[in-house]
A = this chain, B = another copy of it.
Amino acid sequence: MVLKQKKEIKKEDSSIVIKKLEDFGTALVKEIQNSQPPTFEIPLRTKSNVFFDEKLNYLVLGDKKEKRTFLSAAQAKKFMQTIAIANKCKKFLKENSHTSIRGLFYQLKFSLGDDLDEELFSEQSESNPLIEDLEVSLNVKREDLNLNTDRKGVVAGNMVLKDTFGGEETIIDCSKQGRSGWMIPSDVDNGMEIVSLEADYVLVVEKDAMWQRLNEDKFWKKENCILITPKGQASRGCRRLIKKLSELNLPVYIFTDCDAWGWYIYWTIKTGSMNLAYIANSIATPQAKFVGVTMRDIKDYDFLKNLTINAKEVDLKRAEEMLSYDWIKRYVQWVEELKIVLKTKKKLEQDALQGPSLSFVGKYLKEKIEQKKFLP
């Protein structure tokens, strides 16, 4: 399948976002001119306002909103910081330059001095509240504001990309990346175009080591799939790429450990996560299915019963938590699976499939995918 996609042109994309930033500023200026306190309203991002949408099949924000106003002792500083961020992002977009949250912090510190809450811009902090404010109020991703996010994850397969970046065009052929694969960047939308795609499905493999194993065996070539590893929990860019491939009608199969961390990776890709519910429409892939490993695999692959290892407290706790979520417990197969874990107090790692021979894992995946043995 050679895709005839609408060509994405960076400049047009930017100008839409710049317009949004300008409208945002103009509205505040108008309020000041009308002697009203400058105020903007944003959807609340607390847990109490995150819901599982039964139609969309992913986590979304509810209707609750909150106001940010300049004329509030508690909010004045943050309000000012948000406006300063909007201003900087507009500058980055106009300059066509990207930076990180930390780079943004120093740009602001350079102009605002110490009147800045450093902790809000910490790389370590899971959320960067001020930037999230801007994302939700403008309905854009921070990647669209030329802010890079942590990149992680690798892809190989019959996919060709055109990367327009730093004023140059580069053709990236994901079938010609040797042992390394192509590293999934922060932003897979702006200036990034899928030129051709020839694959039957997407296989997402939790661990990089397992991805390398399958890549060495040319699994993606033999089985005609796009082989992705998020290298653990998927980055925003990786989730976005999986979503884009799903929107191009490729089925998405997820292959993780049978344990707390593996399940978390699966559900985050499928239904989104609490703290990124506000961009779930860009990064959640509800069509994703779970190919393994499962405790039920032991029935079909007898040797696995000797390769289980003891579940940890965190695995058992997570299994119980999952059984309490409405959107998981409706799936009888998941309930069965989790109950086996709770009963046996055992878990399975995807690496166990290398027990009989290094390349057995490919045979396992081929069989399960052909027989459509998935968990929903």
Residue A217 is within 8 A (CB to CB) of chain B in the complex: yes
Using A92-B358, A218-B166, A309-B118 as known contacts, say yes or no to A103 and B178 having CB atoms under 8 A apart.
no
A99 to chain B, nearest CB (A): 5
Using A151-B208, A166-B218 as known contacts, say yes or no to A307 and B109 having CB atoms under 8 A apart.
yes
- A240–B301 CA distance with the chains assembled, in angstroms: 40
- A191–B179 CA distance with the chains assembled, in angstroms: 10
Q: Are A351 and B103 in touch, CB under 8 angstroms?
A: yes
Using A103-B209, A172-B178, A185-B180 as known contacts, say yes or no to A110 and B216 having CB atoms under 8 A apart.
no
Residue A51 is within 8 A (CB to CB) of chain B in the complex: no
Q: Are B355 and A107 in touch, CB under 8 angstroms?
A: yes
Residue A128 is within 8 A (CB to CB) of chain B in the complex: no
Residue A82 is within 8 A (CB to CB) of chain B in the complex: no
Q: Are A110 and B307 in touch, CB under 8 angstroms?
A: yes
Q: Which residues of A140-189 have CB atoms within 8 Å of chain B's CB atoms?
A: 148, 150-151, 154, 163, 165-166, 168, 170-172, 176-187
Using A165-B216, A170-B176 as known contacts, say yes or no to A358 and B110 having CB atoms under 8 A apart.
no
0 or 1 for each of A293-316: is its CB under 8 Å from B? (1 = yes): 000000000010011010000000
Residue A75 is within 8 A (CB to CB) of chain B in the complex: no
Q: Are A154 and B179 in touch, CB under 8 angstroms?
A: no
Using A106-B352, A106-B354 as known contacts, say yes or no to A166 and B216 having CB atoms under 8 A apart.
yes
0 or 1 for each of A96-118: is its CB under 8 Å from B? (1 = yes): 01111011011101100100001
A153 to chain B, nearest CB (A): 10
Residue A212 is within 8 A (CB to CB) of chain B in the complex: yes
User: Can you spell out 22 A-B residue pairs with CB atoms less than 8 angstroms apart?
Assistant: A97-B216, A97-B359, A98-B213, A99-B209, A100-B207, A100-B210, A100-B212, A106-B349, A106-B353, A107-B355, A109-B307, A110-B306, A110-B307, A151-B208, A154-B183, A163-B178, A165-B216, A166-B217, A170-B178, A172-B178, A179-B187, A182-B183
* A213 contact set on B, CB distance < 8 A: 98-100, 103
Besides A99-B358, A103-B354, A107-B355, 15 other A-B contacts (C-beta < 8 A): A98-B358, A100-B209, A100-B351, A102-B209, A103-B213, A103-B358, A106-B353, A107-B354, A110-B307, A118-B309, A163-B180, A165-B179, A166-B215, A166-B218, A186-B212
* A181 contact set on B, CB distance < 8 A: 183
A62 to chain B, nearest CB (A): 33
**Interface bin, chain A:** 35 or more
- A168–B216 CA distance with the chains assembled, in angstroms: 10
A56 to chain B, nearest CB (A): 31
A44 to chain B, nearest CB (A): 29
Q: Are A102 and B351 in touch, CB under 8 angstroms?
A: yes
Name A106's contact: one of B97, B100, B172, B307 (CB within 8 Å). Answer: B307
A309 (CB) vs chain B CBs: closest residue: B118
Q: Are A216 and B98 in touch, CB under 8 angstroms?
A: yes
Complex A-B, nearest 9 residue pairs according to Cβ-Cβ distance, in ascending order: A163-B178, A100-B209, A110-B355, A170-B178, A165-B179, A103-B354, A102-B351, A180-B183, A106-B355
A351 to chain B, nearest CB (A): 4
* A54 contact set on B, CB distance < 8 A: none
* A217 contact set on B, CB distance < 8 A: 97, 166
Most buried by B among A107, A150, A215: A107
